[in-house]
Amino acid sequence: MSKTMPLSAHFEELRKRLITSLVFLSGTSLLSFIFRKNLFHIISYPHDWVMGKLNLDSKLYVLNYQDNFMIQFKICLIFGLFLALPFLSYQLYKFIGEALSIIERKIVFLNFPLFFGLFILGCLFGYYYLIPASLLFLMSFGKDLGLTPMINFSDYTSLFFLFTFVTGLVFELPLIMMIVARLGLFKAKDFRGKRKFAILIAFIVGAILTPPDPVSQIILAFCLILLYELGCILAYFVERNKSKICEQTTS
């Protein structure tokens, strides 16, 4: 998107990039549909693990006709979106890139691997820890009463994607802190000065996102504190880099 382009040209470029992105997303969703059996195994693994640990029936049920189609459509679309995310981000970058300065384009380009890496790390944390711990806690209730669980697959997939997406976003904390420091809204010493409040918030978030299990809450809170400390370090290096650039330009 160029500053000198007329408005109609902007809309035309946006239309082309949207069409290109939708075509690519359709391709990745189709690829996900081809491997949907493997995706179903990946999604149902935390549920199967918990059920096996509790010696309960591990089946997931479809309660009506339309869910059989809608669940597969949702899974393939979400995984297709995840696979297409780098390409979609590149299309967005190319559209807004001309309106950015050279330094801003460099910042966006260099920070994207960090954004994507932290998001994947958060999703993996949710997949391997948060979802199994939450399901294990929830399914433990009623076992001593002899209740037989009948879990709706649609409800389970909604919970699965919610937990993985939320933890993926939570793990973006260091990048957000780095951007805030780069914009000059907060300094590294400000973040360090708010460390006590950050620790308190980390335990509150850990209590909200995890079942009422002290071990789970402490582990998640500890991860959030580590992410905050990483953000403090990144903010420090950003400030030091900005000061070096200012010294070079003034000298």
| 186 and 246 part of one domain | yes
How much is the average pLDDT of 163-170? 89
> Which pLDDT score, from 0 to 100, does residue 112 have?
82
Instruction: Mark which of 171, 195, 225 sits at the end of a domain.
Output: 171
From 171, 198, 215, the end of a domain falls on 171
Query: What pLDDT does 246 receive?
Result: 60
DSSP H helices, the chain, are: 7-34, 36-53, 65-97, 102-125, 131-140, 153-170, 173-182, 188-193, 195-209, 214-250
pLDDT at 208 over 70: yes
Pairwise pLDDT comparison (13 vs 155), residue with the higher score: 155
CA distance 211 to 152: 20
pLDDT above 60 (res 1): no
Of 7-16, 52-61, 64-73, minimum mean pLDDT range:
7-16
Number of structural domains, the chain? 2
Residue of 101 and 176 predicted with greater confidence: 176
Q: Is pLDDT above 70 for 41?
A: yes
Where is pLDDT greater, at 100 or 70? 70
pLDDT at 37: 92
Tell me the one-letter amino acid at 54: L
Residue 236: what pLDDT? 86
Both tokens of 241, joined, read 């880099």
Same domain, 180 and 162: no
Q: Do 70 and 130 lie in a common domain?
A: yes
List Cβ<8 Å contacts ≥24 apart for 32-37.
32/75, 32/76, 32/77, 32/79, 32/80, 32/83, 33/72, 33/76, 36/72, 36/75, 36/76
Q: Answer with the one of 145, 171, 197 that is the final residue of a domain.
A: 171
Give the pLDDT confidence score for residue 73 in this predicted structure: 93
Q: Is the pLDDT of residue 107 over 80?
A: no
Which pLDDT value is given to residue 187? Answer: 84
Residues 165 and 179 in one domain: no
Q: Which of 213 and 79 is assigned the larger pLDDT?
A: 79
Shared-domain flag, residues 154 and 177:
no
Name which residue leads in pLDDT, 220 or 70.
70
**pLDDT score at 5:** 58
Lowest mean pLDDT among 127-136, 142-151, 184-193: 142-151
Q: Which of 72-86, 128-142, 168-182, 213-227 tops mean pLDDT?
A: 72-86
Show the domain range for 208: 173-251
Residue that wins the pLDDT comparison between 48 and 220:
48
The first and second tokens of residue 111, run together, are 């920070």
